[in-house]
Amino acid sequence: MTFEVRRAITADHPSLSGHFPDAPLVPGVLILDEVLAALRDWRKDCQLTAIRTVKFLQPLRPEQPFTICLSTSDDDATGVNFCCRIEGHVMVEGQLEIYFGTKVTS
């Protein structure tokens, strides 16, 4: 089971000010925030519980379009693989841990 969505981070995003003023790069945490938003678009009934692994392989520039791909081996899997690609090249990859339903906290 897979899901893909295209995204881009606008150059005026507040997280970018001061993040390398002469050569702006999108912070990794902002990319992961987009991955989480894509996960919520795909699997509305789940919650992120952990980022098991993440590897940043190349930088992302503001306004640069990228594709987020999410996949699981079956509908009940608690592990979700993800990768972000720029023009077919993997920029970020990793695995998320998710929980289905309402999590009870004490």
CATH of the domain at 75: 3.10.129.10
76 backbone φψ class: left, alpha, beta (φ>0; ψ -120 to 50): alpha
Quick check: is 94 in a domain? yes
Quick check: is 19 in a domain? yes
Mean pLDDT of the chain: 89
Which has the closest alpha carbon to 1: 76, 102, 83?
76
Taking only the tens place, the pLDDT of each residue in 12-56 is 888 887 767 778 899 999 999 999 999 999 988 889 999 999 999
Q: What's the predicted TM-score (pTM) here?
A: 0.88
Task: Name the domain count of the chain.
Answer: 1
What 3-state class would DSSP assign to 28?
Answer: helix
Whole-number pLDDT of residue 81: 95
User: Which residues constitute the domain of residue 89?
Assistant: 2-100
Q: Looking at residues 66-77, what average pLDDT do you find?
A: 83
Distance from C-alpha of 53 to C-alpha of 106, rounded to nearest angstrom: 27
Question: pLDDT at residue 5 above 90?
Answer: yes
Distance from C-alpha of 14 to C-alpha of 89, rounded to nearest angstrom: 27
Quick check: is 14 in a domain? yes
For residue 100, name the pLDDT band (cuts at 50, 70, 90): confident
Question: pLDDT at residue 105 above 60?
Answer: no
Quick check: is 106 in a domain? no
Quick check: is 93 in a domain? yes
